Structure 1
Amino acid sequence: MAFGKGEVKVKWVNDLIQKHNLAVVGIQETKRKHMSEMLIRKLWGSSDFEFLSIDSQGNGGGLLSIWNNSLFSKDTVLCSEDCLIFTGKTLLWSAPFKFFNSWLEEEDLENLVIDVWKNFKIDGRHCKLFLIMQKLKVVKSKIKAQAMEYKRKEEGDRNVWRRRIKEIDKIVEEDHHSIDIMAERLDLVSKIRWKY
């Protein structure tokens, strides 16, 4: 979720936090080289927070976790350039857990995570938190690879739709068109706009 594109995403995140009364929020792909306290205050909507962040490297990455410091107390932190894990205690809090993530809608995500969790092996002499972090890194790299494949496929679809729109435009110019062909053109244009 890149915050460099203006205030719209900041307001959207703040609206989600306020609407659902969230106590802990994790955001990936911030694409920010530095998360200022002022920006985080805008996201959170008040000054009752603490946060951990990992700055982006180049055009990608960046992690941010924010929590209500009167409801959650951080204990242990384990982080690297692309992983942020922390533990803590809830303070007078029994709110339900809510998770918003567009990747959950992807068909193969569950199988990908299960496969990594079952088959990824690492020297067992490390603490459990480190092992989890390593598995999450593998999951993240596989999700990125899958995302690249989806983008390539979508770009191919978009090119096919654009070629068909040009064909339809030639047919319309020659005055050989029908309601069906115009409906097909509108459908293709809406697909391009909706997906991209």
Structure 2
Amino acid sequence: MVLIQETKKSCMDENFARFLWPGDDLGYIGVDVEGSSGGLLCLWKPEVFQITGCCRSRNLVLLSGLAYLRLGCFIVNVYVIVVGEGIFGSFLKEVKKAWVSAPVEGWAGFRIMAKLRSLKQALKIWNVEVFGHVVSKLKVAEAELHSWDLVVEERDLTEAKARKRIEVRDEVWQSRKKLESIWLQKSRLNWALKRDKNTRCFHIMASRRQSRNLIDSMKINDTLYEEPLELKQAVWVYFKDLFTEGWKVTPRLGGEFSCIDQGQLQRLESDFSEAEVWVAVKECDGNKAPGWKVTPRLGGEFSCIDQGQLQRLESDFSEAEVWVAVKECDGNKAPGPDGFNLFCIQKGWKIMKGDIMDFMKEFHANGVLGNGINCSFVTLVPKSNCPESIKDFRPISCIYKVLSKVLV
């Protein structure tokens, strides 16, 4: 009998099973992969194991039967998803350490911003220490594992060397999972979660996204900019002028205002006379394009909210609805200026929820956002396939997602 984990096959049939184990008589049961990892397969000879029952799920295959037609037994094939102390085992520990140890006072929004900055610096150090150079580490580990495999083919290993081989094999597996996560982040495609990263199409799409997002030159106000610093400054000035009011001083209404008397009010509320209607018709330009043939009107009954619904709308934000909003967001979207996407908040919700709920309560009470709390990147999305001018791009901004989603 052979038990295989991590098959990464979306459809396992008899042809695939016989490819792995050629022969006339063969029994097999498999679990198809979901996402980019997983997949289980059990193979056996009917004369060695006779199956009487089966139970399977995404991570488990349980077989019951008779071994050599006389010994009752259970066979378990498990795909273990490592949580906590796995690849990112120290991630949440580092998040909790940096979040709790940051002594910040002030408004909740300001505290969140300061703690995110502190967390960003801590995670940069963690990234170098834990991830490091994944590709080079993987090559070294694979070479060492290959040398151990050659030794095993020649002679049996001692207990200490066998443990060392298991450690090297575990390091190879972890390095491969790290590399897959890096490629997934580079691609940021939904279908990447359902395909193996080691395909030519995957690499082309990941590289194409980077090349398409690159802006190496742009024409702004009939001037072509190619130098990165000059281009950056010109784009900043263009959108600064675009989003800035032209008024140096906002005009305000002041002075004394005359009021209408009772006679003027009665004339305003009186019925329309034939004379004033004819004056209005006569003064219109009769050469204009025709309008609606039938003027649209709103009809029907409109439901109103009751007192209970009104109270729920005006009530404080609950932790449950905030968590639902966080959980429903796509955590793999591009990060904001603080360097974090929603996936980080989703994973660290138990650590961050106290400060986040304080921020939500303060906003509900005051209706004011602290300076910089809703800062965001302005991403230039091309309107055409070959954009040349700044006018060929449209700006799109990522708003403060958690608050806006709860409000909606």
Larger Cα-atom Rg: 2
Same fold (TM over 0.5): no
* TM norm structure 2: 0.22
